Chain A
Amino acid sequence: MTRQKRSHHRLKRAVAPYLYLSPSLLIIGLLMLLPMVTVIGYSFQNSAVLRRDPSFAGLKHYHAIFADPEFWASLWHTLYFTCMSVIFHMTIGMVFALMLNSDRINPTLRNILRVLYILPWLFTAVIIAVIWRLLLEPNGVVNSVLMQMGIIGSKVEWFSSTATALHAVTFANIWAGYPLFMVSLLAGLQGIPKDFYEAADIDGAKAYQKLIFITIPQLMPIIISISLLDFIWTMQVFPLIWITTGGGPIYSTEVLSTYTYKLAFSSYNLSQASASAVVILLISLGLTLFYIRYQKAR
């Protein structure tokens, strides 16, 4: 092979991977990177979108957001909503996965439970919101059952009271989201070699010891991965809250996504909304980097 031919061949080999990647890179660039950069640009402009020649605003909108008590309330609600959702998704997902994986439960019953437990996953966020609005209505099923059981004395306005609204939307989100954990953990449980449990039986391990010393450590990579992903996704939940409470009453269920939406489409303050969106982006980015680092370390 001549030198020229060889260098041509080398160039082709070097370029090929980028050619293969270029369609997806192009789509990601157009649909994700471009809007992101645009929003970041808006957050530094006065009257972004609304005026043809917006002036540079510096960090003005960021100052405004950080000075807004509503923003801090939304941030706190977002954290509460997210943390509680992730913790309960994991706990419920784990309990159900263990049940579905247990030999002690009759296989027919297990098959029925498997279908029942996965149901919330079949519904879109809008349907889930409507279902829970109906269930948690003052004259709804939940109130009447709780009253008949004597747990509550009078009808509770779950979504309309500032004391209960945040808990109620969090509850609905927990119900909607545990199947991801359940399915992932069930797959993980089925991958744990039976020998481990048999060796532990011979060594005299009780059921809870097998859970602590074998099952949970074996599932740890799945638990951490799914928790991080769930955290990232739940932080950005919008439709469920928007349809059930719309962020109310009196901002008691306002989260960063509804707060940003209202800034943009109720107040038409698109610059400030962009600044808020950038804050959400930065938090998500931080978590995503953490997730990627964890995945790389494995």
Chain B
Amino acid sequence: MAEVILENICKAYGNNFRAIDQLNLSVEDGEFLILVGPSGCGKSTALRMIAGLEDITSGSLRIGGVDVVDMPPKDRDIAMVFQSYALYPHMTVFENIAFSMRLAGKPKAERKKRVDEIAKTLQLTSLLDSKPANLSGGQRQRVAMGRAMVREPAAFLMDEPLSNLDAKLRVQMRAEITSLQKQLGVTTIYVTHDQIEAMTMGDRVAVLKGGVLQQVDTPKRLYESPVNAFVAGFIGSPSMNLFEATMTGDELMSGTFAIRLQEAAFVRRPGLRSFAGRKVVFGIRPEDLYDSSLESGRKYQTIPAKVTSIEELGSEHIVHLNIDAVRVDSGDPDAVDDFGLASNAVARFEPISAVHSGAEIRLAVDDAKFHFFDPETHLAI
């Protein structure tokens, strides 16, 4: 068994700044867990603390049932893949992969056998005599994986291993790492700031913000039921649209429009009634907004909107709109403010949509897909 259990882990720096605050996380044997969050949220620090490259200020960390807080990295039975890969440029691929075995004094024949096996798995056999400088980004990435695999560790730790690759290769390596992890069945903790990696690769995803764990769940549940506005805004691309509105009876009032909520919304969220007459934050994902002139949008209520710009991606149109409502900031420091002066909402329309920039349209909204958050605490209602 090689589960990784973090209990009340804290990392404090001299001036009482807490990079990690009371982190509790339990990664099961063989699980692929993603640590995700905006830059500076403490995800890499957390990973480095698990690896033993950073001291743990307080809390307990167990790997495979053993308390490793005071152990040096080499005794923790982990292997790490670095963002930069940290391949030794003066060593060949073979020497890089075999390095830990060489340090451990393993005989040459054993080293060769093991490295050959790994090279075969990773399709590196023909490259074993090459130096890292002569490899492509994807090949280097695989060598870094090989170097981690050779140790047969209880857990893999990966620190943004795909961030140095170009977009196409990243998609390919995403699939390769996922299938490799399933094949090896080794507990893996993977740090990324890319929520697409988080959503596609992990069994579960832990979202961090400001050193505090926000939510740990399967990608699907994270997407469907975010616990707060931050997770709602962070997970999903383009981000969820968050607006302020006033609850009046069973209607959401904002500026010049009102949206009637169905009874089901209140049944699912008993707390919502208590916001009657008060402000509430509601969120809607771009794919739950429709062009009302198309078949797909006919069955929903509509609100007025002005199209400010359109990104035609072929498979869909990302439509930037302005609606008469106050946008709410999810608190993601990395969020690109694509809401220029004129636009405060994003929708995904089918490519057959004929809306054009500058048009005044009726925007169909699927109110059954609304998310509600407390305007004070930003917690989900």
**Quick check: A213 and B88 within 8 Å, CB to CB?**
yes
Min CB gap A203→B, angstroms: 4
- List, in ascending order, chain B residues with CB within 8 A of A218's CB: 89-90
B75-112 CB contact bits vs A (8 Å, 1 = yes)? 00011101010101111000000011001100000000
With A195-B82, A203-B151, A204-B103 in contact, do A217 and B53 touch (Cβ < 8 Å)?
A: no
Contact B103 A199 (CB under 8 A): no
A-B contact count (CB 8 A): 55
Kindly report which residue of chain A lies nearest to residue B72, judged by CB atoms: A201
Contact of A196 among B52, B80, B88, B151 (CB under 8 A): B88
Chain B hits for A195, CB < 8 A: 82, 84, 86
A224 to chain B, nearest CB (A): 13
* A214 CA to B90 CA, complexed, in Å: 8
Residue A225, interface by CB 8 Å: no
Q: Which residues of B contact A196 (CB under 8 A)?
A: 86, 88
- Counting CB contacts under 8 A, is B51 at the interface? yes
CB contacts (< 8 Å) of A199 on chain B: these are: 80, 82, 86, 147
Q: How far is the CA of A220 from the CA of B90 in the complex (A)?
A: 10
Q: Are A204 and B104 in contact (CB under 8 A)?
A: yes
Known: A209-B103, A213-B99. A202 touches B88 (CB 8 A): no
Known contacts A193-B84, A218-B90: does B73 contact A201 (CB below 8 Å)?
A: yes
Write out the residue numbers on chain A whose beta carbons fall within 8 Å of the beta carbon of B78. Answer: 202
Q: Chain B interface mostly helix, strand, loop or mixed?
A: loop
Residues from chain B with Cβ under 8 Å of A202 in the complex? 51-53, 73-74, 78-80
- Give every chain A residue within 8 A of B88 (Cβ-Cβ): 196, 213-214, 217
A204 touches B100 (CB 8 A): yes
How far apart sit A213 and B98, CA to CA, in the bound complex (Å)? Answer: 13
A201 to B90, CA, bound (A): 18
Q: Considering the chains assembled together, what is the distance between the CA atoms of A195 and B81 in angstroms?
A: 10
A205 beta carbon closer than 8 Å to chain B: yes
List which A94-118 residues lie within 8 A (CB) of chain B.
Answer: none
Cβ A203 vs Cβ B72 within 8 A: no
Q: How many residues of A are in contact with the other chain, CB < 8 A?
A: 17
Task: Give the CA-CA distance A198 to B87 in the complex, in Å.
Answer: 11
Contact A198 B100 (CB under 8 A): no
User: How far in angstroms is the closest Cβ of chain B from A222?
Assistant: 13
B303 to chain A, nearest CB (A): 51
> Judging by beta carbons under 8 Å apart, are A201 and B53 in contact?
yes
CB pair B103 A203 closer than 8 Å: yes
How distant is the Cα of A212 from the Cα of B74 in the complex, in angstroms? 18
CB contacts (< 8 Å) of A205 on chain B: these are: 74, 103
B99 touches A198 (CB 8 A): no
B151 near A198 with CB under 8 A, answer no
Question: Smallest CB-CB separation from A197: which chain B residue?
Answer: B86
| Alpha-carbon gap, A220 to B84, bound state (A) | 22
Chain A: minimal CB distance from B145 (Å): 13
A residues 201-238 touching B (CB-CB < 8 Å): 201-205, 209, 213-214, 217-218, 220
| Given A203-B74, A213-B88, A218-B90, CB of A198 within 8 Å of CB of B103 | no
Please give the distance in Å from A107's CB to the nearest CB on chain B.
14
The residues in B between 141 and 164 inclusive whose CB is less than 8 angstroms from any CB of A are 147, 151
Can you name the residue of chain A whose Cβ is closest to the Cβ of B100? Answer: A203
Q: Inside 8 A of B89's CB, which chain A residues have their CB?
A: 218
In A272-287, which residues have CB < 8 Å from any B CB? none
For residue B86, which residues in chain A have a CB less than 8 angstroms away from its CB?
193, 195-196, 198-199
Question: Cα distance A220–B91 when bound, in Å?
Answer: 13
| Contact status A203-B99, CB under 8 Å | yes
- Please, how many angstroms separate the alpha-carbon atoms of A218 and B87 in the complex? 12
Task: List residues 116-161 of chain B with CB under 8 A from any CB of chain A.
Answer: 147, 151
Q: Which residues of B contact A214 (CB under 8 A)?
A: 88
Among B72, B80, B151, the one with the most A-chain Cβ atoms within 10 Å of its Cβ is B80
Within 8 A of A (CB), among B253-279: none
B164 CB to closest chain A CB (Å) equals: 12
Residue of A nearest to B80 (CB): A202
Q: Cβ of B72: which chain A residues have Cβ within 8 Å of it?
A: 201
Residue in chain A with minimal CB distance to B75: A204
A124, chain B: closest CB distance, angstroms: 38
Contacts of B100 in A (CB 8 A): 203-204
- Interface contact B90-A198, CB-CB below 8 Å: no
Given A193-B84, A198-B82, does the pair A204, B90 have CB atoms closer than 8 Å?
no
- CB-contact partner of A217 in B51, B79, B80, B90, under 8 A: B90
Question: Which chain A residues border B103 with CB–CB below 8 Å?
Answer: 200, 203-205, 209, 213
The reply to whether B82 and A201 contact each other, CB–CB distance below 8 Å, is no
A201 neighbours in B (Cβ, 8 Å): 52-53, 72-74
Chain A residue nearest to B81 in the complex (CB): A199
What separation, in Å, do the CA atoms of A217 and B91 have in the docked complex?
Answer: 9
Minimum C-beta distance from A189 to chain B (A): 15
Nearest CB of chain A from residue B70's CB, rounded to whole Å? 15
Q: Mark A14-51, 1 if CB is under 8 A from B, else 0.
A: 00000000000000000000000000000000000000
State how many angstroms separate the Cβ of B103 from the closest Cβ of chain A: 5
Contact residues in A for B147 (Cβ distance below 8 Å): 199, 203
Q: Which residue of B lies closest to A202 (CB)?
A: B73
- Give, as a whole number of angstroms, the nearest-CB distance from B142 to chain A: 16
Which B residue's beta carbon lies closest to that of A196? B86
With A and B bound together, what is the CA distance between A198 and B147 in angstroms? 13
Return the chain A residue nearest B151 by Cβ: A203
Distance of A8 Cα from B312 Cα, bound (Å): 51
As a 0/1 sequence over residues 30 to 69 of chain B, the CB contacts with chain A under 8 angstroms (1 = contact) are 0000000000000000000001110000000000000000
- Shortest distance between the CB of A219 and any CB in chain B (Å): 10
6 sample A-B contacts, Cβ–Cβ < 8 Å, listed by A number: A195-B82, A201-B52, A202-B53, A204-B104, A213-B103, A214-B88
Closest 5 A-B residue pairs measured CB to CB?
A: A204-B74, A195-B86, A203-B100, A199-B86, A217-B90
Given contacts A193-B86, A202-B52, 15 further A-B contacts (CB under 8 A): A195-B82, A195-B86, A198-B51, A201-B53, A201-B72, A202-B73, A203-B99, A203-B100, A203-B103, A203-B147, A204-B74, A204-B104, A205-B74, A205-B103, A218-B90
Interface residue ranges, A against B (CB under 8 Å): 193, 195-196, 198-205, 209, 213-214, 217-218, 220
